[in-house]
């Protein structure tokens, strides 16, 4: 590899990662774009999917039954037709609200999947750049090995020259092993950084999302 080829290769190297770290997480970016209906659907879904709602609703029906069991305070005597009407309306509204919340979850899943795909593509670009750097390093080491063999005179019976040549070959082999180890460490470090970036960007829960999501 000539000096001109090396300089050209160095100029073509990327200045940084193909996907720089964003200033905020995906959930923080989406939070400001939620409509009023989406926020309401998330809050209602979170509320109706909690034990507090279940306990409160059971308590409400118990109070309704106790008050309407007395002849003096009964406004909806047994079999509680008015209460059944309220329960039917609540069931209908609850089903619609859950459908809206499910659509929101589908949109979130699709957006997160696209985000992961973009991150993986950027990681592939970075890893390919590291592999190309390592390949160029191995080529340079091979050229240095050839130059070292040329400079060391091949003298028959010259033990000192043979020892020097053997030392040079040993050093070149050690340099190759070091380059391969550096390549492996660079690949592992790049993959670890990408996985850490993905976890950091996706760890923020949706502000109005349920903890069980």
Q: Is residue 208 part of a domain?
A: no
Q: Is residue 114 part of a domain?
A: yes
Q: What is the pLDDT of residues 8-52, one digit of tens each?
A: 666 666 666 656 666 667 677 777 777 887 788 778 888 888 899
Distance CA 82, CA 77 (A): 9
Count the domains in the chain: 1
Query: In angstroms, what CA-CA distances link 104 with 33, 40, 80, 100, 163?
Result: 13, 12, 36, 6, 73
Q: Is residue 207 part of a domain?
A: no
Query: In angstroms, what CA-CA distances link 130 with 139, 141, 182?
Result: 14, 17, 10
Q: What is the pLDDT of residues 142-157, one digit of tens each?
A: 888 878 888 765 544 4
Residues spanned by the domain of 64: 3-202
Q: Is residue 43 part of a domain?
A: yes
| Confidence (pTM) | 0.45
Q: Is residue 155 part of a domain?
A: yes
Residue 57, both tokens: 């609703």
Give the residue among 154, 93, 83 at the shortest CA–CA distance from 75: 83
Q: Is residue 28 part of a domain?
A: yes
**DSSP 3-state helix, strand, coil percentages of the chain (rounded to 5)?**
75, 0, 25
Q: Is residue 134 part of a domain?
A: yes
Q: Is residue 209 part of a domain?
A: no
- What is the secondary structure of 94-139 as a DSSP string? HHHHHHHHHHHHHHHHHHHHHHHHHHHHHHHHHHHHHHHHHHHHHH
The predicted pLDDT at position 43 comes to 83
Query: In angstroms, what CA-CA distances link 126 with 49, 123, 188?
Result: 43, 5, 12
């Amino acid at each position: 590899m000539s000096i001109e080829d090396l300089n050209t290769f160095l100029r073509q190297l990327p200045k940084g990662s193909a996907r720089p770290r964003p200033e905020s997480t995906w959930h923080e970016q989406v939070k400001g774009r939620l409509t009023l209906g989406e926020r309401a659907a998330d809050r209602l879904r979170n509320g109706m999917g909690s034990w507090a709602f279940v306990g409160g609703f059971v308590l409400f029906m118990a109070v309704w039954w106790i008050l309407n069991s007395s002849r003096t305070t009964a406004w909806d005597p047994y079999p509680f037709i008015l209460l059944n009407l309220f329960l039917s309306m609540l069931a209908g509204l609850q089903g619609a609200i859950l459908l809206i919340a499910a659509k929101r979850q589908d949109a979130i899943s699709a957006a997160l999947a696209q985000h992961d795909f973009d991150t993986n593509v950027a990681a592939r670009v970075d890893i390919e750049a590291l592999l190309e750097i390592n390949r160029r390093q191995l080529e340079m080491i091979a050229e240095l090995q050839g130059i070292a063999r040329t400079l060391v005179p091949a003298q028959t019976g010259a033990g000192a020259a043979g020892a020097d040549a053997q030392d040079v070959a040993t050093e070149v082999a050690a340099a190759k092993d070091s380059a391969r180890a550096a390549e492996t460490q660079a690949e592992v470090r790049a993959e670890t950084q990408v996985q850490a970036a993905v976890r950091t960007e996706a760890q923020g829960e949706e502000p109005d999302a349920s903890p069980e999501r």
